[in-house]
Amino acid sequence: DNLDGMVERGYAGQSIWDWWRLPDYKGPRYTDYARANASIGINGTVLNNVNAKATSLTAPYIAKAAALADVFRPYGIKVYLSVKWTAPMELDGLKTADPLDSQVAAWWKAKADEIYRAIPDFGGFLVKANSEGQPGPQDYDRTHADGANMLAAAVKPHGGIVMWRAFVYAHDNPDDRAKQAYDDFKPLDGKFADNVIVQVKNGAIDFQPREPFHPLFGAMPKTPLMMEFQITKEYLGQSTHLTYLGPLFEETLDADTYARGKGSTVAKVIDGTLDGHKLTGIAGVANIGVDRDWSGSIFNQADWYAFGRLAWNPDLSAEAIAREWAAMTFTPDPKLVKPVVAMMMGSREAAVDYMTPLGLAHVMGTGHHYGPAPWISDLARPEWNPVYYHKADATGIGFDRTKSGSNAIAQYAPPVAKMLADPKTTPEKELLWFHHLPWDYRLKSGETLWDGLVHHYDRGVAYVADMQKTWESLRPLVDPERFAQTKAFLKIQHREAKWWRGASIAYFQSIAKRPLPTGSDAPAHDLDWYKAQDFPYAPGNP
C-alpha cells in the first residue's frame, strides 16, 4: 500500500490504511482486518509497499504504524515495514547508503531503536533492493548479504528480523531474466546473518498463471528461505476472473526440488525441515482494499483463506480448503458446495489455458498487465517485452532454457535438470517455458504443437462458459447480492477469455502461418483490432 492510499497491484479499491487520520482515529475496520487474519493463522503484516518511500520511517509515520500495532497486538499480529535503501540520505542528508559505512550502520541502528521505542514488538524490515530501479547495496559494489546483515544488526538487539527479497533482475544483465536471482543469491549461501530470511517468489519470473518452482528453492541449504506468493491476481484476471489460487499454491509447495533426493519438496525447504532452519516464513502479496468484500470479489476471498490455511499446513489439499471456504461463505448444503468447489478447482487451469498455455508466460499488456499483448517488442529493456518470453518465429515458439539456449535448467538439481533437458520428459504444462519447439512438434496427444495450442485456448474459454451455467443453476441457493456480482464477473471473464483467445491466436497465427484445426473458430477480429486496444486507466498500475 502506498502512502497516498493507492494500492499497487491492488484491485479491491483504495488502501484500508487511512494514513491521514492515523494515529488519532483508528477505524473499526482495522480490528476486523486483524480478526480475519488471526482466524486463519496470519501473524504479521507489512504495512507499506516494497517500493517504499523514506517517509514511512519518519516520526509521524512511525506513530501511525504504532497505532495500528496497538490494534493488531491482541490478535497476535506483528507489524513490519518496507524500507527504502537510501532513507539515510533522503531523511538526514548522509552522503552515502553504503552498508559498510559506519555512519550508515549507526543511522539504521538509531532508526531501529526509535521504532522499537514506539512499537516494542515490531517485527522487522522487508527490503526490495537493486530491483526494478530500486536502490540497494550493489550500487556501492556490495552484496545483498552485506546490505541485509547491516540491517539485521540494527534490529537484532530487539529480536527483529530482516526479510530480504530475491526478486532481482538488472537492466544491464543480458542473461535470461529467469536466471538472475539464482546467480545473485546462490553464491551468498551461508553468508547471511541468522536473523535474515531470503524471500523468494514461487517462480523465477513474476507471479505468472503458471511457473516452474524457483530454482533457488533447494539451492541455498545454509540460508532460510521464505515463500512469496501473490494473493492479488496481477496476472490472473485481477479482481473479476474467478481463478482460485489454491491449486497454484499447492502445486508449488508440492514441487520436488530433489535437493536432498526424492521428497525434498518446496514445502520442506520453507518450513525449515529439509535443512534444519528455525527461522521460517511465507508471505502473500495481499488483495485487500476498502471494497465491501475486502478483496474485489467474493471468490477472491478464497485465495486469502487458502494462503492462511496452507501457511500452517502445506500438506492440506486445495480442494479440501475450497470445501471449507465454500461451506462457510455460502452454505454447507452439498447441493451448493460440490458444484462451487468443482468450479473453483478447474478455474486456475482454465485461466492458464486461455492466457498462457503449455508454458508460455508474460504475454500480458505491459505496465498494467491487463489483457493480452504478445506482440509488444519496442520497450527499452528486452525483458519488459512479451516477445522476449515466447520467442515465436517462423520455425516455432518457446524459450530455450536448455544447454543449447540460456541453460537455466542447470540451476536445478541434477534429476530435475535431466528431466527438463528433453522436451519428451518435460511436463507438458511447462513445455514452452524450457524449450523452443517447431510448430509441428507432436504433443503427447498426437496433435501438433500449433493445434494443441489452439485447443488449449478453446478449452479455457469453454470452461468459463461452463462456470456461467453452473453458477446460474445455483441461483436459488445464493443471496441475490452475491449471486448478481458473481454472475456479472463471470460474464466479464467469459468476454475477456474470448478476447485472450482471439488476440493470442490472431498474433501467433500471423507467425506460424498455419490453419486453425477443424472445429476451432477464427478470432472475432483481425490482429490490428486487438493491437489497437488501449487501457490507460487500468487499476493497480503504479
What's the mean pLDDT when you consider all of the chain?
97
Fold held by 28-329: TIM Barrel (3.20.20)
Alpha-carbon gap, residue 534 to 353, rounded angstroms: 23
Asked if 308 and 42 count as a contact pair (C-beta separation under 8 A), the reply is yes
DSSP 205: S
Mean pLDDT of 484-500: 98
Predicted pLDDT at 276: 98
Question: Measured between alpha carbons, how far is 84 from 55 in angstroms, rounded to an integer?
Answer: 9
For residue 530, give the C-alpha cell. 486487438
Average pLDDT for 87-99: 98
* Class of CATH domain 358-532: alpha beta
Mean pLDDT of 459-479: 98
Question: Can you tell me the distance from the alpha carbon of 170 to that of 248, in angstroms, rounded to the nearest whole number?
Answer: 27
pTM of the full structure: 0.97
Residue 149 corresponds to which cell in the numbers above? 546483515
pLDDT in tens, 402-415: 999 999 999 999 99
CA angle 102, 105, 107 (to 5 degrees): 110
Dihedral of the CA atoms 155, 25, 51, 83 (nearest 10)?
-20
Cis peptide bond upstream of 23, omega within 30: yes
218 closest CA partner among 411, 409, 438, 3? 411
3-state secondary structure string, 467-516?
A: HHHHHHHCHHHCCHHHHHHHHHHHHHHHHHHHHHHHHHHHHHHHHHCCCC
Residue 542 confidence (pLDDT) above 90: no
pLDDT-derived band at 455 (thresholds 50, 70, 90) equals very high
The answer to whether residue 234 is catalytic is yes
Residue 523, CA distances (Å) to 184, 241, 393, 454 in order: 43, 21, 20, 11
What was the pLDDT predicted at 365? Answer: 95
The mean per-residue pLDDT over the stretch 445-469 comes to 98
Q: Which residues pair with 396 in a beta bridge?
A: 393, 438
Percent of the chain past pLDDT 90, that is, above it, reads 97
Summarize the confidence of residues 275-288 as an average pLDDT.
Answer: 97
For residue 171, pLDDT over 80 is answered with no
Which pLDDT tens digit goes with each residue over 177-189? 999 999 999 999 9
User: What pLDDT shows up at residue 350?
Assistant: 98
Judged on CB neighbours under 10 Å (0-12, 13-18, 19+), 282 is buried
Rounded to 5, what percent of the chain is helix, strand, coil? 45, 10, 45
Handedness of CA 113, 116, 118, 124 (dihedral sign): positive
pLDDT digit string, tens, across residues 208-260 = 999 999 999 999 999 999 999 999 999 999 999 999 999 999 999 999 999 99
CATH 3.90.1330.10 range(s) for the chain read 358-532
Say how far apart CA 313 and CA 303 lie, in whole Å: 15
Strand order in the sheet with 78-83: 44-46, 78-83, 124-127, 161-165, 196-201, 225-230, 282-285
- Backbone φ and ψ for 159, nearest 5 degrees, come out as 85, 15
- Residue from 32, 92, 113, 132 carrying the catalytic annotation: 132
The residues of the chain that CATH labels 3.20.20.80 are 28-329
pLDDT grade for 133, boundaries at 50, 70 and 90: confident
* Active-site position among 1, 176, 206, 303: 206
pLDDT of residue 173: 83
Is 132 one of the annotated active-site residues of the chain? yes
- Collect contacts of 315-321 with beta carbons under 8 A, ≥24 apart: 315/267, 316/250, 317/250, 318/244, 318/246, 318/247, 318/249, 318/250, 318/345, 319/246, 319/345, 321/246
pLDDT beyond 90 at 282: yes
Q: Of residues 146, 234, 250, 324, which has the active-site annotation?
A: 234
The answer to whether 428 is a known catalytic residue is no
CA distance 62 to 68: 10
pLDDT at 491: 98
